[in-house]
């Protein structure tokens, strides 16, 4: 991504704030409209997390309460509102149901494919262990892995690159109000689901949980609109919900349903949605989200119970299965708490290291691996290396354990062990990652020896770092848990070896759980929702307090070094993401300094030609236009009387709602909200709309369609105050007016997102066109 | 409470909305300022839930960003902000710790006092069962109960009536932004704690959980301010937090810590705070709340573990102890789900009945039992009746059960049963309610016979209805759970008796749990937080889905008939409570119709005499004044340039910050934020400030102290839009301006809260001075 932003002199924190006009030097590469001006530190900063991309548009989470909308709302009876509310519940139920079904499909497909793969490889290994020539087994394993990953990589890289990764950063951005193109399309869902099946079956160090969240969100965005634009099928249902505000609410529910299905954690799902996405907390909305989550877990459990031949047994957990932690064995004592905190700190450190390595790797990828075929090849390489390393680890390991009667291993590999014994390194490597986690949590003390665990942690850590960010659909939850569980168990074993009384530290599984939480917390840095997810997934609340302690510690330690993994990836995409609050030290900035100015405004009744010209201007590409009334003269800024969006004008132009036309052809029907809803969300570009020379001379009356009461702030408003208003109400445009109500500026998401707290105090990001 | 509101003609939903000016008839009792105008339905409505009290003021959850504040913020370095953040965490930890300690104290005190009481009565009963003359035992029991309750009643009724009840409605109001006088004072806390110990020890049908939430909130309000106004002790700490916004955040944490201690449910506590109180969800705040909750549970468990002689065993639950539900026995099947839904509906119905009866009773109490001595006598009467009814039930019950080896009864009463048997009715009545709930959940099948349970449900239901609303500190959670557990268990027993295969329905304890959830949900109508609280309190997540289903059903069914218990009590107090959203059908109302007008404004530089006169006018009693600049003439409304609060002006007057004075005495120090913080929150009334005749002629410059950027809306803004802005930002005053930025009206909490959806569509509440 090239940095084509223009540089101007860094306007330092001056004391002449009130009167200061932007200081522009006369360099030729500087345009004199404020919109294009970028203030940056003089020295060029190479990484693009110091940029803010202009390519991302915002979503309209503030209803445009124009006349059409108000008329519709006023026509509706109380009964209609109740029906709408019931419809919302039904849709949430549907979202939960479909998300649960998808989770079920992924689970069964992965289990089946991985089962076949491990069976074939196991047979082969057993054959060649006796005969010699295990390299053939290795090649078989590597080829099988690469084949799966190739399929997964190709569909993602060539058909829908947005389906890569876990999708959690994308959904975070969507809920934050950033429009990520194609993120909630049906095609994305299909590629995502197939992709994740391939990557997990391909033996990569990934999990199938993260993508469920994205899948749930897509399901929600689709179901709630009552149509599929991709399939060109409109069911003529749920038309009321065809706007960003309503869609966002359903997408929150979908994301929650996804978490719920992935971890069997309905409450965790609700909290995830809130922690990562929401801003304004609404009770009814939260209950609907909770309902969708519950239905999702229920559906998944119901169908899985049928698949597993125990129909009706709903007590099983979600996609991930940590196994049952029994209350009796799972107790902890006061003196263990310092140990937990140490583990949390360790998790924070290792998490920060993970994120830092992955950050460097991602920058490398952005620079050098951006062609799809290269991306697929890298993914295949990782798959082959994963198989090779795993094989080598198993091959050189001489850690054999007797095969117990109630062993939990699905594919115990005997390898060079004596009869009746199995290779413990294989339980960690020759298995889907979830099963490995479960073994680490529940296998009885003594199942693993410390070297095995240490080596495994080390190798798996680097494999996971390398894997995250590949062009395949995959989540980072499970590998994180696995790394953590491994060193956690190691920690537990070491503890019991250095203390005399074995009984207290008897259960290394407990430390595996704490380690897993610490590592995951250190990487993704969620606390509240993660605590609940862990508690719900383990089915035991006893460990709530230690897990919470560990997660908080991991977050504090990790945040000291580097941000969370998702935030890093959001920043690397230069997304204008709005955090919870304005930077603490930004009180000296006011709306006057952050706003874009001058603002392109329209008159209440505007010439079509002017409108088309403004909309066609690719250098500005504004999306919202204050509508003004001029009192004195045309050159002066006008008094604000409304706000109209590009999308609304596009619909008006498409339907040719011109004043002269209306008077000449009286038969022309009045434009209704339905026309706007039909065009939502893929409004055509201005270039596709043909406006004849005659029509250019017509006038357009925007009165009926503009939002007559946009939120405004005076110029003196401090940045935190502007930020709070913007964030709490989910605004896209905030008009800045002077004390005569004249439009003097416009604050958009990018104007707020570009301020952030850096090492040297408040910093400003550059704006870039990419 | 007398209704002194004036009536004017009911202005119907007119079509001439845009141009309509208030239609006032010329009756003499109508003042012509809009503020006093009350629109009501023509027929007088007697109950005061149709009124909106004017006596409640709002809290300022929007920072007044005046020059002083901005200067302070701008002076602060990033380090200072980090220190503040750390301080916030420390305070939250303290809040959790102290709340946990209080919970611990209540628990131990109740256990001790109730233990002594039951021991004495049991001895007495055993003695007189053989001798005859059990009426002496009855009298002893009744007198003991009444004595406890008398103490509890007297301290509440005579010293701090706000400490009555559970305190949850009050905390809900506080977090909503309503200033309830004396609700977070130290005295209230002391009375509350002592009161709840007395009422629970006095054998009333109450729990000790609800008051914990109030206690936590008071602790938070006290600790976070670093001083106690009651004790006249200022620690000179935490001065930055002396404003409503910060205090509210801590009070949320305190309430959460209270829930957490009461139910051993830290996550439930966070959700409770959010579900009942929050509006803007802030991630950092939520984590702090979670931290306080965790510390609270931890402290409680730690001290209780020492008290119970197992120091360091932290795995025990909160105040309430539902006992451990084991994963193995607690499973449910698909065909049980319809049964759960039926139970939910039943809970909703019974809950609605409970609320309705209690509502009538409360109206009766408001009318006839408002003298403290009457209130104490009623409480004593209820205590005596409770003892008598319990005794009679035990006496006439002939349901004996063999005393198992591992019986959970603390005080098994043999009564007229054979040796080695005990009276089962006594396990329900002769026990603290928590123990009874635990017995109902966990006693093996066959411990109760159906008649006993049916009779118990019936009797306890009416006792609980009568008890809630007495002038004692007490919660409604436990009695609700107990009623529900009783009929739930009955439901389970009846189920197993009508089906042939006993084994499926073997565990009536499961139905007791579901019944308890249904009944509690039917009464208080919380869903998300209650689900989590129940799950955390039972220590088992398996039942999350059924409990959620049951709670949702109970809520839907219950809401069809009557509101939740807390909402009823809030309404009966005529509190201007803002719900989550504006009524659905209120789009036809605009700011012009809801605002108060004309508005009392001040000039930037205003005469002291004018200010004092306006502030002293008891008939208006405004709390916020727009500051305006007059452009043309004095009579016209002025252009908005700021907003100043009564409390700020009071401080200015107290310090005599007059322009003439300042120029004459140059030594006078500049007023700082500290002066405002020192006066917070008990600003003196205007009457206590002496302003001499000379001083009245001075001028006051408000520029530095007013908020220069208050939020404004145009007159055409629809009510839902105004509401959203008001609610999301926690405003107290919202200035309505015309398109010249002239002040035309002011929207306050009461203007918004008075619209609600009634049976006949949108209704408007009357405003009353009481």
CA distance A574 to chain B (A): 22
Q: What is the mean pLDDT of residues B203-214?
A: 89
* Nearest C-alpha neighbor of A423 from the set A447, A458, A387: A447
Residue B573 dihedral angles phi and psi, to the nearest 5°: -85, 0
pLDDT digits (tens, 9 = 90+) for B96-132: 999 999 999 999 999 899 989 988 988 888 888 777 7
Q: What is the mean pLDDT of residues A309-331?
A: 64
DSSP state at residue A325:
P
Most confident range, picked from A69-73, A372-376, B133-137, B181-185? A372-376
Residue with tokens 């202009």: A54
Residues of chain B with C-beta less than 8 angstroms from the C-beta of A332: 314-315
Whole-number pLDDT of residue B27? 33
Residues B446, B422: contact at Cβ < 8 Å?
A: no
Task: Report the chain B residue with the minimal C-alpha distance to residue A757.
Answer: B78
> B675 exposed, middle or buried (CB, 10 Å; 0-12, 13-18, 19+)?
middle
CA–CA dist B543, B324 (Å, integer) = 13
Whole-number pLDDT of residue A46? 41
Would you call B539 and A327 a contact, using CB atoms and an 8 Å cutoff? yes
Most confident range, picked from A427-436, B233-242, B666-675, B713-722? B713-722
Flag whether pLDDT at B22 surpasses 60. no
Flag whether pLDDT at A153 surpasses 80. yes
Task: Report the chain B residue with the minimal C-alpha distance to residue A76.
Answer: B585
Flag whether pLDDT at A143 surpasses 90. yes
Which residue in B741, B743, B755, B757 has the most chain A C-beta atoms within 10 A of its own C-beta, making it the best mutation to test that interface? B741
Which residue in A77, A240, A267 has the most chain B C-beta atoms within 10 A of its own C-beta, making it the best mutation to test that interface? A267
Calculate ∠ Cα A14-A15-A20, nearest 5°. Answer: 70
Residue B536's pLDDT band (cuts 50, 70, 90) = confident
Whole-number pLDDT of residue A15? 34
Flag whether pLDDT at A582 surpasses 80. yes
Whole-number pLDDT of residue B505? 54
Q: Count the neighbouring beta carbons within 10 Å of the beta carbon of residue B668.
A: 14
Nearest neighbour of B528 by CB, restricted to A287, A315, A528? A287
Which residue in A79, A533, A587 has the most chain B C-beta atoms within 10 A of its own C-beta, making it the best mutation to test that interface? A587
The answer for residues whose C-beta is within 8 angstroms of residue B595's C-beta and 6 or more apart is B34, B715, B736, B744, B745, B746, B747, B751
Whole-number pLDDT of residue A770? 60
**Count of pairs with CB atoms under 8 A, one residue in A, one in B:** 212
Mean pLDDT of chain A: 82
Flag whether pLDDT at A42 surpasses 70. no
Would you call B584 and A81 a contact, using CB atoms and an 8 Å cutoff? yes
- Is the pLDDT higher at B163 or at A448? B163
Q: What is the mean pLDDT of residues B562-573?
A: 90
CA–CA dist B161, B167 (Å, integer) = 11
Nearest neighbour of B536 by CB, restricted to A326, A333, A541? A541
* Nearest C-alpha neighbor of B213 from the set B226, B196, B228: B196
Would you call A275 and B283 a contact, using CB atoms and an 8 Å cutoff? yes
Residues of chain B with C-beta less than 8 angstroms from the C-beta of A761: 78
Is residue A458 classed as helix, strand or coil in its secondary structure?
helix
Q: What is the mean pLDDT of residues A71-91?
A: 90
Would you call A541 and B542 a contact, using CB atoms and an 8 Å cutoff? no
Residues A481, A454: contact at Cβ < 8 Å?
A: no
| Total-model pTM | 0.89
Whole-number pLDDT of residue B9? 33
Q: What is the mean pLDDT of residues B312-335?
A: 65
Which of A134-148, B13-27, B567-581 has the least mean pLDDT?
A: B13-27
Would you call B312 and A334 a contact, using CB atoms and an 8 Å cutoff? yes
Nearest neighbour of A552 by CB, restricted to B291, B549, B552? B291
* Nearest C-alpha neighbor of B73 from the set A644, A31, A582: A582
Torsion of CA B529, B535, B541, B546, to 10 degrees: -80
Q: What is the mean pLDDT of residues A420-431?
A: 77
CA–CA dist A250, A217 (Å, integer) = 8
CA–CA dist A140, A147 (Å, integer) = 10
Whole-number pLDDT of residue B769? 66
Whole-number pLDDT of residue A34? 35
Query: Which helix H or strand E contains B199, and what residues bound it?
Result: helix B186-201
Nearest neighbour of A81 by CB, restricted to B63, B274, B585? B585
- Is the pLDDT higher at A516 or at A239? A516
- Is the pLDDT higher at A197 or at A166? A197
Which of A189-193, A448-452, A458-462, A634-638 has the least mean pLDDT?
A: A634-638
Question: Distance from CA of residue B345 to its chain's centroid?
Answer: 26
CA–CA dist A322, A434 (Å, integer) = 8
pLDDT digits (tens, 9 = 90+) for B490-523: 998 888 887 765 555 567 888 999 999 999 999 9
CA–CA dist A641, A274 (Å, integer) = 35
CA–CA dist B616, B690 (Å, integer) = 12
H and E: helices and strands count for chain B: 27, 18
DSSP state at residue A51:
E
Strands A639-645 and A733-737: unpaired
* Nearest C-alpha neighbor of A452 from the set A409, A503, A493: A493
Flag whether pLDDT at B8 surpasses 50. no
Residues of chain A with C-beta less than 8 angstroms from the C-beta of B302: 334
Flag whether pLDDT at B358 surpasses 70. yes
Flag whether pLDDT at A10 surpasses 60. no
- Is the pLDDT higher at B41 or at A685? A685
> What DSSP string describes B582-648?
--TT-TT-BHHHHSB-S---EESEEEHHHHHHHHH-TTT--SEEEEEE-SS-TTSPPEEEEEEEHHH
Nearest neighbour of B281 by CB, restricted to A76, A278, A327? A278
Query: Which helix H or strand E contains A260, and what residues bound it?
Result: helix A244-263
pLDDT digits (tens, 9 = 90+) for B607-632: 899 999 999 987 777 889 999 988 76
- Cα distances (Å, whole numbers) of residue B160 to A65, B185, B194, B574: 48, 10, 12, 20
Would you call B541 and A535 a contact, using CB atoms and an 8 Å cutoff? yes
- Cα distances (Å, whole numbers) of residue A102 to A217, A738, B501, B635: 12, 53, 36, 68
CA–CA dist A646, A622 (Å, integer) = 7
Nearest neighbour of A281 by CB, restricted to B73, B279, B527? B279
Whole-number pLDDT of residue A431? 79
Residues B662, B695: contact at Cβ < 8 Å?
A: no
Residues of chain B with C-beta less than 8 angstroms from the C-beta of A334: 302, 311-312, 314
Residues of chain A with C-beta less than 8 angstroms from the C-beta of B324: 327
Nearest neighbour of B280 by CB, restricted to A334, A639, A728? A728
* Percentage above 70 pLDDT, chain B: 86
CA distance A253 to chain B (A): 14
Task: Report the chain B residue with the minimal C-alpha distance to residue A717.
Answer: B709
Mean pLDDT of chain B: 82
Flag whether pLDDT at A747 surpasses 70. yes
Which of A325-339, A438-452, B11-25, B741-755 has the least mean pLDDT?
A: B11-25
Residues of chain B with C-beta less than 8 angstroms from the C-beta of A331: 313, 315
Would you call A639 and B74 a contact, using CB atoms and an 8 Å cutoff? no
Residue B528's pLDDT band (cuts 50, 70, 90) = confident
Q: How many CA atoms lie within 13 A of A355 on its CB side?
A: 30
Whole-number pLDDT of residue A97? 96
Calculate ∠ Cα B766-B767-B770, nearest 5°. Answer: 125
pLDDT digits (tens, 9 = 90+) for B273-289: 888 776 666 788 888 99
Whole-number pLDDT of residue A43? 36
Whole-number pLDDT of residue A452? 83
């Amino acid at each position: 991504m090239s940095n084509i932003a223009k540089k101007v002199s860094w306007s330092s924190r001056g004391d002449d704030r009130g009167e200061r006009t932007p200081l522009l030097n006369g360099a030729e590469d500087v345009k004199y409209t404020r919109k294009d001006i970028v203030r940056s530190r003089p020295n060029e900063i190479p990484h693009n997390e110091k940029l803010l991309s202009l390519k991302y548009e915002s979503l309209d989470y503030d209803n445009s309460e124009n006349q059409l909308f108000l008329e519709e709302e006023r026509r509706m009876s109380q009964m209609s509102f109740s029906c709408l509310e019931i419809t919302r519940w039904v849709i949430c139920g549907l979202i939960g149901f479909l998300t649960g079904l998808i989770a079920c499909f992924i689970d069964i497909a992965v289990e089946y494919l991985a089962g076949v793969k491990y069976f074939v490889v196991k047979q082969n290994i057993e054959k060649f262990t006796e005969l010699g020539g295990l390299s053939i087994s290795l090649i078989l394993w590597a080829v099988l892995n690469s084949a799966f990953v190739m399929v997964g990589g190709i569909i993602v890289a060539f058909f829908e690159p947005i389906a890569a990764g876990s999708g959690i950063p994308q959904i975070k951005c969507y809920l934050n109000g950033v429009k990520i193109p194609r993120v909630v399309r049906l095609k994305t869902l299909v590629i995502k689901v197939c992709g994740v099946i391939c990557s997990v079956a391909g033996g990569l160090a990934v999990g199938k949980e993260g993508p469920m969240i994205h899948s749930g969100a897509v399901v929600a965005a689709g179901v709630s609109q009552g149509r599929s634009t991709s399939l060109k099928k409109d069911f003529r249902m749920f038309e009321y919900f065809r706007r960003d505000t309503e869609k966002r609410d359903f997408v929150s529910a979908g994301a929650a349903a996804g978490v719920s299905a992935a971890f069997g954690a309905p409450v965790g799902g609700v909290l995830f949605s809130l922690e990562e996405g929401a801003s304004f907390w609404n009770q009814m909305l939260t209950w609907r989200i909770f309902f969708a989550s519950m239905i999702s877990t229920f559906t998944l459990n119901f169908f899985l119970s049928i698949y597993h031949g125990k129909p009706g047994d709903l007590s099983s957990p979600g996609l991930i299965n940590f196994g049952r932690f029994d209350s009796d064995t799972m107790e902890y004592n006061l003196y263990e708490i310092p140990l937990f905190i140490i583990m949390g700190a360790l998790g924070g450190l290792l998490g920060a290291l993970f994120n830092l390595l992955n950050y460097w790797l991602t920058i490398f990828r952005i620079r050098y691996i951006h062609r799809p075929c290269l991306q697929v090849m890298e993914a295949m390489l990782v798959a082959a290396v994963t198989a090779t390393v795993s094989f080598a680890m198993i091959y050189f390991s001489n850690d054999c354990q007797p095969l117990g009667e109630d062993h939990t291993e699905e594919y115990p590999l005997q390898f060079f062990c004596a009869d009746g014994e199995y290779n413990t390194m294989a339980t960690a490597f020759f298995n889907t990652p979830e099963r490995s986690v479960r073994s680490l949590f529940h296998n009885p003390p003594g199942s693993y020896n410390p070297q095995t665990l240490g080596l495994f942690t080390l190798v798996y850590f680097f494999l996971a770092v390398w894997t995250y960010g590949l062009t395949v659909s995959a989540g980072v939850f499970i590998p994180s848990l696995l790394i953590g569980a491994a060193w956690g168990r190691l920690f537990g074993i070491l503890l019991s070896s250095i203390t005399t009384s074995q009984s207290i530290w008897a259960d290394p599984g407990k430390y595996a759980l704490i380690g897993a939480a610490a590592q995951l917390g250190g990487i993704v840095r969620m606390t509240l929702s993660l605590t609940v997810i862990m508690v719900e997934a383990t089915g035991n609340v006893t460990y709530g307090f230690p897990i919470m302690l560990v997660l908080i510690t991991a977050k504090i330690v990790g945040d000291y070094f580097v941000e969370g993994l998702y935030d890093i990836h959001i920043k690397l995409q230069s997304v204008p993401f709005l955090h919870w609050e304005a930077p603490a030290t930004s009180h000296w900035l006011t709306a006057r300094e952050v706003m874009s100015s001058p603002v392109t405004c329209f008159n209440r009744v505007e010439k079509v030609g002017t409108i088309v010209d403004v909309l066609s201007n690719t250098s500005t590409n504004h999306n919202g236009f204050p509508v003004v009334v001029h009192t004195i003269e045309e050159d002066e800024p006008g008094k604000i009387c409304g706000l109209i969006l590009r999308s609304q004008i596009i619909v008006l132009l498409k339907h040719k709602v011109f004043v002269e036309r209306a008077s000449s052809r009286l038969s022309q029907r009045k434009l209704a909200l339905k026309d706007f809803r039909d065009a939502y969300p893929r409004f055509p570009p201005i270039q596709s709309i043909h406006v004849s020379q005659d029509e250019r001379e017509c006038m357009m009356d925007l009165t009926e369609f503009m939002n007559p009461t946009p939120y405004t702030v005076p110029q003196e408003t401090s940045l935190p105050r502007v930020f709070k208003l913007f964030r709490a109400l989910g605004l896209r445009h905030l008009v800045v007016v002077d004390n005569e109500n004249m439009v003097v500026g416009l604050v958009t998401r990018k104007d707020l997102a570009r301020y952030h707290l850096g090492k040297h105090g408040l910093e400003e990001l550059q704006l870039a066109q990419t």
